[in-house]
Structure 1
Amino acid sequence: MATPAFAADTAAADTAAADTAAAADDAVEGEIIVTANKRDESISKVGVSITAFDSSALEKRNIVQLDELARAVPGLALAPSTHGTPVFTLRGIGFNADSLGVYPAVSLSLDQAPMPFPVLAGHSIYDLGRVEVLKGPQGTLFGQNSTGGAINFVANKPTKDLQAGFNLDYGRFNEVHGSAFISGPITDTLGIRVAIDAAHRDAWQYSFTRRDFNGEQNYVAGRIIADWEPSDRLKVELNLNGSIDRSEPQALQIIASLPSNPAAPTLQELTTPLTPRNLRAADWSPTGRDRVTGLPGGLTQSSTLSPRPRGNRQIYQVFLRADYQISDKISLTSITTYNHLNQKMAFDLDGSRFELVDNPRDDGSISDFNQEIRLSNAAAADERFRWTVGGNYNHSDVDQVQIITYGDNSLSNAGTNFIHDSTVTNSGRINSYAVFANAEFSLTDRITLKAGVRYTSFENKNRMCNADTTGDQNLSALFTLLGQLIGGQTVPLAPGDCYSLNSLNLPGQPFENTLSQDNVSWRGGVDFQANSRTLIYANISRGYKAGAFPVITGATQSVFLPARQEYVTSYEIGAKTRFADNAISLSGAIFYQDYRDKQIQGTVNTALFGLLQRLDNVPKSHIFGIEADVVVRPTAGLTLTGSASYLDTRVDEYSGITVFGQQNDFAGSRLPFAPSWTLVGDVDYRIPTAKGGEVFVGGSVNFRTSQDAYIAGSQLEIPDNGVNRWLTRVPFRIPGYALVDARLGYDFPGNRFTVSIWGKNIFNQFNVQNIISYNNIITQATGQPATYGVSFKVRWQ
């Protein structure tokens, strides 16, 4: 799909939406310019499915968070995860995993500088010139890990004259959100832009078992951009980004308790209350298990672990881009990027006040380096043959330490030596190399042929260790015994030794494995300019997502084995058109995606510890989709925007174990996070006043039909064994919902001052964004409740 994007012929026009359909020789005035082919092009001239929002559209809809962006893009879903890693799904293609070093199926970048891990994109939506969402595999130009598509955030750049401004919002839960910028020239050749974004909000969740609150938000983010143009041929851009986020992670809602040991469930598993149907209700452990004594803290004993949700995540990115015009037609581009993250987090994984399964320590770091060099004749836009060639190198170090506690879970029993926690240490050393080429050739003024190819070599050296770091060493004693009984080992495990049994059934050694793979992404297509206002295109493309290692607890090292790389072959036909003197814009696409080796969170049934997670591959599945968009301006000042997405996703071949431990043939099941229908609508009406200002009123709606959080989620029923408890027996089906936002405001004459009131989810519609199974506890993460507030905007120039 290519959502229409309009440029305004007046200040009141809607530049918000996405792909316009005009294919005039010159871009329509004010039309969004995109970089889908890594060169500046009018969005209406690009035969690729794109949704784009410019800065005015982002401000108008008050899009300041990633989940708000996802609601505005049909076919895009963003699900929160247990460990604070966002899960992107686009056109039914995504990877629902939550470790720090998980590669996405939708690639992310800022000004084409890659953010290879989703967690790095947490605070990207501020002081932006536009956001581009490219749909379908984008492997040739954006690299692997873009099987679903690519999202590129484009920051506002330094201006030729002095400009400044700020936005200030005050909303429900005492939310204060502010952003500001100052931009201008330092010399004739050097320009600087400084932007800052910060927010504080009181806790929005309440415990339904006691007086306690969670969800306080505290973060600050900043960006400095320096543009230096020492000559007509050389341009250098330095971009520094950083954020500090000490917000409390969202607490989960427990919706089902399935005792790990049904024959001897704990009192806590049998009595923990399930969450009432309220967006704000949740629960979490007030204290935890003491690491020295090993005794449960419960409600009476202070804990040295303090597992209540807490956050401390620091991210910064530095990238340097240099563009050198070698000749009048050929340019050389270098983009050098460094990303870094440190975190010290704590998550309550069971949504209860007990220690059924908690994550009181989740520390980690990411260090990532990327270098891209490319040659192109981008400056020669009038050339019949347009080409880009280049190469990439990427190196990433990812380290993560988790403590998982389960002292109130029946997994802790006499048969398991009353184990109650485990420390998971994982490190990955990742290298990849790639070379690529992309070309377009205009056979005639109406027909353009397109082709691209990329070769990628990828290596991930992974080390995993599950260890007992507690004072009682119950876990070490248990696996020392298992090593003696099964593997013949007689040396007892020391504190900190890895306990998971290797292929010889011996504990004591870490799991070390190297995943080495390569792939060739490619694309081909044709654009047909039917007339000056209509573009028809057909594309076929293939993209890959790198293989991945899990970060989990495991009794045997076999569950640490990686999932192999997945790939998607996409076939798409689309069109963009504009008529009625540009008052109506219409676009649409139909596509089929052959999906091979999809990576999922699978399940393995172990004799000692029951059901454990592991990564798995779905050999074969497919996706059929239709997307359509329309923008209508029936009268001056009124803009109506509508988008629709239909997805039919199916597993063609996969047999495995359900989260309830049952062997199952999943053929015919739906893929996760792929609702059959997604509808997005927006109304914007602007009324000029006699004094030169403008009153504006608008609203938007996002409707999604039901979807599954796991493969076959709509068919999986909780077994009725007499001790299992649930709110719904089919827990992994996410019900459909419709969210409505509204806005009303006034632009003062000269567009220097704006004041508005707004509301999000104004009808407080109950909505679920993810459902998670962890150690036989099923929880859900909801969306935000109704929020409302007032905004002030000031600009100087």
Structure 2
Amino acid sequence: MVSAVRTRARLALSVSATALLMAGAPALAQTTPPAAPAPQAGQSPQAAPAVVDDIIVTAQKREQSVQDVPIAVSALSAEALESRQIEGGSELLRAVPNVSFSKSNFSMYNFSIRGIGTKAVSASSDPAVAVSFNNTPLIRNRLFEQEYLDVARVEVLRGPQGTLYGRNATGGVVNMFPELPKFRSEGFAAGELGNYDSRRGQAMLNVPFGDTFAVRGAFGFTQRDGFDYNSFNDTHVNDRDLFTTRLSARWEPTARFRANAIWEHFEEDDHRSRTGKQLCTTDPGPTQVGSATITTPYNQDQLSQGCLPGSLYSDAAYGAPNGGSFGPIRLLSGFFSLGGFDANGASVYPIPQGFDPYEGVVQSRDLREIATNYDPVFRAENDVVQVNLEFDLTDTLTLFSQTAYAKDDYYASQDYARYVSNPAFSDSSQVFDFFGDLIPSPAAPGGVYTDPQLGPSNRILSADISQSDNRQWYQEFRLQSDMAGDFNFSLGANYLDFKSQDDYYVFNNTFSYLAEYFYNFELGPDGSSQTVPCDDDRVFECVYVDPNPLSEINGEGHNYFRSKNVVHTRSWAVFGEGYWDLTPELRLTTGLRYTEDRKDTTPYPSQLLLGAPLGGGSGPGSGGFVRRGYYALPDIEQKWEAVTGRIVLDWTPDLSFTDDTLVYASFSRGYKGGGTNPPRLELDPKVVQYQPLASTFDPEYVNAFEIGAKNTLMDGALRLNATGFYYDYKDYQVSQIVDRISLNENFDAEIWGLELEAVYRPTPSFQIDGNLGYLKSRIADGERSINVMDRTQGDPDWITIRPWIQVPSNCIAPRAYAETILNSAFGPDAANLALSALCAGSSRFGTFNPNFNSILPFWALYGFTYDPLTEAPNGGRGFEADLGGNELPNSPNWTANIGAQYSWFLGDWDLTLRGDYYRQGESFFRVYNTEYDRLEGWDNLNLSVSLTNEARGLKLQAYVKNVFDDAPIVDAFTNSDDTGLTTNVFTLDPRLFAVRLTKSF
């Protein structure tokens, strides 16, 4: 019954939205939802004229009505944000057509406009949608995590902004403008209580000191309990504890000089989850390869990739990866024994041979319920200091200066796998020699291994840390005219200096177990293994184990994965726009920008389970060069120069059926800088070889054509704006995890679409507003890429294989060779080594002599020769998938929002009821567009009611967000081969309701 009611409600809202929005064609600038217009003398509020309020924007860095700007721009005032319950940047998608948003897997986010966002995951990559604070671009920011506080307006410019905003704004610009001090006393205080024990408060005080100086302070905080339930720890996670404070000053000593300064600080310290649940369609591995029947789970695991590329919406997706296929677990359960036997005379391995620690693990279908050993930690701190100066050189020329400094520090840690393993470790205290005498090992007494970072456990533990440290300086000068003639201009120059260090760590107690008891060991006289110091000449190969707990790591350990990325970006540009009034109704705008970008990246190779062989020479061990720490490779220096800009022709005809009309056509060119891929393992090629990957990726360029019309009709009661666009996109940047790094690739594409925005106010009491976006994207013919979820592309003559532990990515090999190995009489242990040797990088391993020197490739024992680097597609990485005609990721074909509000005027009190319904169509989260990549469409309904007494400065508001308590998958991220190709998914906040009281004065 509830489901039927919900379906009817959604259908009714969808039909209403379609009826409204089909009245025109796509795209209108968002205006402020109006308060009741002031009645004239003797006139009641109901009798006042019904007019849609205007909003002034600075999309062209000059004050203009949103209806006079020949750009597709949506502008939301503080009142509009509050009435729609848009509390932060992540919710702007509900008010702007063709926009999607999701958190990313690491420290950033993906805000996408018209299919263009940030799908490149690299410390050196830049967001395609430029995020600005009061016109200052911020490469790293928390504007999509902190909540809006004392905001004047938010402007969202759609499409490449190649002149005034320029650098990297290929998708568009999101510009948040705080309220600045005013020369009058005012203030407010607001308090809110809601479910999940939510407590929120905001306050502002504006104090003038005469007519030339004023200060303004604002403060806001939010505290609430967690949305997600961790059933293993019986805790609630994904809570929030944050605050923002802002102090600004304004000084206008003369009529020609104006100055303001702003300092804003944001801080968060809670247990927020960086990503959502982790899904997996379990891959058990094949039981038959040609004529070979696989009876040993150990060999079956070798041919499993962990997870299969099944739909994220199937019941099977709520499984866990085949943990027996993971490299460290295979090594601990087959290659390395504890040097003795159990009571039955069988060899004792640290993990039983063929054991899958996740066997039988089934997850809850609730995306807000997880089961993990480790609750998340989330900390962020951001400061922005900005000084703005304006000086009127003459009555028609103004010089602007904007100086800004920003720093951003971020730390997030969470369980790397969002499910709990079965007990996995063998009891190392119960190991016997050949004569039955006890020879215990200190590794895991009682089946409990104590990891220096993760602590003691009998289960497989894993956690990660994503952290970044960023500093930015920005300076812009601009000269702007305001002449009475037919021509005006804006000329400027700016400089950006940005320094960043990003670190990503993955911890796993099997890593530390191997480092302590495999690489750093010696066989004792009784045959038992024992750990020896790194400076002891008896040690086989030293891998430094960081002894510190997770919160105090020294960052030098080789018992964990660390991707260290240091980037220094310097960019300067000169730009200018000219505005010609060709006739009173026809204007030509031309803009040009020259940008020079320099990026210096210092690569630090990862060092997981890498050490230095005995005596510092090359040997067949881990293949590393250093025992401790992370050394730098030579800097990668990159430089690009780009000329971008726009040309716009806009016409304001006098039409009989509109009150005001602007028609425009534009061409613009955008550019976004390239960067470097994070460095991989720095392996000794005498030990391990694998195919090189590109160390850099190319810049993006886009040529955009746009036509639009902005209309005011029905004596100001209706605004209807429409836009159509076409993009010719070159080298769009997209990432996937390859060899434990984010490999960024470039693809050409075409994008076209339509947008509509409308606001209709038939009476002073009633308003209806909405937007509709249609988007079609197409990757160019001939573009290809290797799909890590399907490396064989269905070719029956090839098979996916797990490589040796030091080779991070899976490979493909001839099925016939795998069949020969599995059919041989050498046994399952030899088969495991030989199958690994079919992967590039593993083929250097062969049969071993007592000095651990490789003398013969394993597959040579089976009667064939094979070089995967030359005989397999792409060095064994797999067959390339044809991407031609596929849609770009996170590019839903349809987005739509409709909102309606009605006010009752009850004496001194106004009662307003509002509802907003949003719908996003189906899309894909990767470029391959397979069933695995599909994201189903989803919707969202929000309701609010407010009671306002303007004379007393009182407002009481109640709201419900996500009325139907839906949890759609809004985006996803595929993890690495060596962790099973699991999928991190992202969803919406649950149903939230609250009551807020505001007092203004």
TM over 0.5: yes
Contact 2:183 2:212 in 1 (8 A): no
Letter in 2 for 1:570: A
Residue identity matched to 1:598: Y
Partner of 2:920: 704
Partner of residue 244, structure 1: 267
Q: What amino acid sits opposite 1:646 in the alignment?
A: Y
Q: How is 1:526-541 mapped onto 2 (pairs within 5 angstroms)? A: 526-531=649-654, 533-541=660-668
- Match among 172, 185, 189 for residue 162 of structure 1: 185
**Do 1:708 and 1:732's aligned partners in 2 also have CA atoms closer than 8 Å?**
yes
Equivalent in the alignment of 2:373: 285
Deviates more, 1:341-350 or 1:233-242: 341-350
Q: Deviations over 1:726-768 (max 9, x none)?
A: xxxx332111111000001211252610111100001112212
Tell me which moved more, 762-771 or 111-120.
Answer: 111-120
For residue 117 of structure 2, what is the aligned residue in structure 1?
94
SS of the residue aligned with 2:258? strand
One-letter amino acid of the structure 2 residue matched with residue 674 of structure 1: S
Counterpart of 2:196? 173
What is the Cα deviation at residue 581 of structure 1? 1.5
1:548 matched residue in structure 2: 675
Which of 575, 580, 590 is the matching residue for 1:436? 575
Residue equivalent to 2:431: none
Q: Write out aligned runs for 1:677-688 (5 A).
A: 677-688=894-905
Segment drifting more, 577-586 vs 198-207: 577-586
Q: CA deviation at 1:773?
A: 0.8
Residue segments in structure 2 that go unaligned for 5+ positions in a row = 1-25, 39-50, 284-300, 305-323, 330-354, 422-458, 520-540, 544-557, 684-690, 792-879
Matching residue of 1:392: 494
Name the SS of the counterpart of 1:439 in structure 2: strand
In 2, distance between residues paired with 1:732 and 1:146? 27
Moved more, 659-668 or 160-169: 659-668
2:885 aligned to which of 668, 688, 712: 668
Residue by residue over 1:110-163, the C-alpha shift from the partner in whole angstroms, topping out at 9 and shown as x without a partner, is 111221225465326211011000010002110211100001111111122110
Letter paired with 1:342: D
Which range moves more in the overlay, 69-78 or 570-579? 69-78
Q: Please state which structure has a larger fraction of its residues in strand.
A: 1
* Aligned match for 1:516, one of 614, 639, 660: 639
Match of 2:610? Answer: 475
Task: Give 1:342 deviation, angstroms.
Answer: 1.9
Are 1:424 and 2:563 an aligned pair?
A: yes
1:224 to 1:210, Cα distance in 2 relative to 1, 3 A:
closer
Q: Is the 8 A contact 1:174 1:202 kept in 2?
A: yes
- Give the corresponding residue for 1:754: 955
Compute the displacement of 1:484 (Å).
4.5
For residues 69 and 357 of structure 1, the distance between their equivalents in structure 2, rounded to whole angstroms, comes to 38
Cα offset, 1:404, TM superposition: 1.5
- Indicate which of 197, 203, 224 corresponds to 2:220: 197
Determine which structure has more spread, i.e. the larger CA radius of gyration.
Answer: 2
Is the CA contact (8 Å cut-off) linking 1:676 and 1:705 kept in structure 2?
yes
Instruction: Give the 3-state SS of the residue equivalent to 1:69 in structure 2.
Output: helix
Q: What's the % identity of the aligned pairs?
A: 24
* Residue number in structure 2 paired with 1:376: 480
Counterpart CA distance in 1 for 2:201 and 2:192 is: 6
Distance in 2 (CA, whole Å) between partners of 1:315 and 1:441 is: 42
- Native 8 Å contact 2:30 2:95 kept in 1: no
SS at match of 1:277: coil
Match of residue 744, structure 2, among 587, 598, 615: 615
Match of 1:254 in 2: 278
**CA deviation string 1:477-499 (max 9, x = no partner):** 58999964699x9x95221144x
Distance 1:454 1:353 in 2: 54
In structure 1, which of residues 448, 456, 468 is the aligned counterpart of residue 587 of structure 2? 448
Q: Quick one: which amino acid aligns to residue 167 of structure 1?
A: A
The farther-off stretch of 330-339 and 203-212 is 203-212
Q: CA deviation at 1:410?
A: 14
| Shift in alpha-carbon separation, 1:5–1:422, aligned structure 2, 3 A | closer
Distance 1:64 1:695 in 2: 22
Structure with the larger helix share: 2
In structure 2, the CA distance between the partners of 1:482 and 1:461, relative to structure 1 (3 Å rule), is farther
Distance in 2 between residues matched to 1:174 and 1:101, nearest whole Å:
39
Report the Cα offset of residue 204 of structure 1: 1.3
Are residues 1:767 and 2:952 paired? no
The answer as to 2:777 corresponding to 1:649 is yes
Q: Tell me: CA distance 1:357–1:778, structure 2 relative to 1, closer, same or farther (3 Å).
A: farther
> 3-state SS of the aligned residue for 1:396?
strand
Q: Is the CA contact (8 Å cut-off) linking 1:32 and 1:42 kept in structure 2? A: yes
Counterpart of 2:984, as a letter, is T
| TM superposition score normalised by structure 1 | 0.85
What whole-Å deviation, never above 9, does each CA across 1:357-415 have from its counterpart, x for those lacking one?
955333321010011001110x43x4421211111111111012222124569998999
- Structure 1: distance between partners of 2:614 and 2:140: 34
Alignment of 1:21-100 (within 5 A): 30-98=53-121
The change in CA–CA distance for 1:312 and 1:100 in structure 2 (over 3 A counts) is farther
* C-alpha displacement of 1:184: 2.5
| Equivalence for 2:554 | none
The 1:123/1:99 distance shift into structure 2, 3 A limit, reads farther
Which residue of structure 2 lines up, in the alignment, with residue 783 of structure 1? 988
Q: Of 310, 320, 336, which residue of structure 1 is paired with 2:387? A: 320
* Rounded Cα–Cα distance in structure 1 between residues aligned with 2:584 and 2:668: 24
Per the TM alignment, residue 786 of structure 1 is displaced from its structure 2 partner at its CA by 0.8
**Partners of 1:111 and 1:320 in 2: CA distance:** 11
Q: Return the letter of the residue paired with 1:252.
A: G
Change (3 A) 1:458 1:484: farther
Unaligned runs of 5+ in 1: 14-27, 287-307, 499-508, 716-729
1:546-695 maps to which residues of 2 (within 5 A)? 546-551=673-678, 554=681, 558-559=692-693, 561-602=695-736, 604=738, 613-618=742-747, 620-653=748-781, 654-662=783-791, 663-689=880-906, 691-695=907-911
- The RMSD of aligned alpha carbons is 2.9
Paired with 1:334 and 1:36, the residues of 2 have a C-alpha distance of 17
Match of 1:333 among 400, 408, 414: 400
Structure 1 residues 688 and 258: alpha-carbon distance in aligned structure 2, compared to 1, 3 A threshold: same
| Distance in 2 (alpha carbons) for counterparts of 1:86 and 1:479 | 45
| One-letter amino acid matched to 2:419 | S
AA in 2 matched with 1:165: F
What CA distance in whole angstroms lies between the structure 1 residues aligned with 2:952 and 2:891?
Answer: 41
* In structure 1, C-alpha distance between the alignment counterparts of 2:198 and 2:469, rounded to whole Å: 29
Task: State how far apart, in whole Å, the 2-side matches of 1:536 and 1:357 are.
Answer: 61
> Match of 2:533?
none
Mark the CA change 1:76 to 1:29 in structure 2 (over 3 Å): closer, same or farther.
closer
How far did residue 345 of structure 1 move? 2.4
- SS of the aligned residue for 1:530 comes to coil
Q: Contact between 1:254 and 1:274, CA under 8 Å: does it hold in 2?
A: no
Q: 1:616 deviation in Å?
A: 1.1
Which TM-score applies when normalising by structure 2?
Answer: 0.68
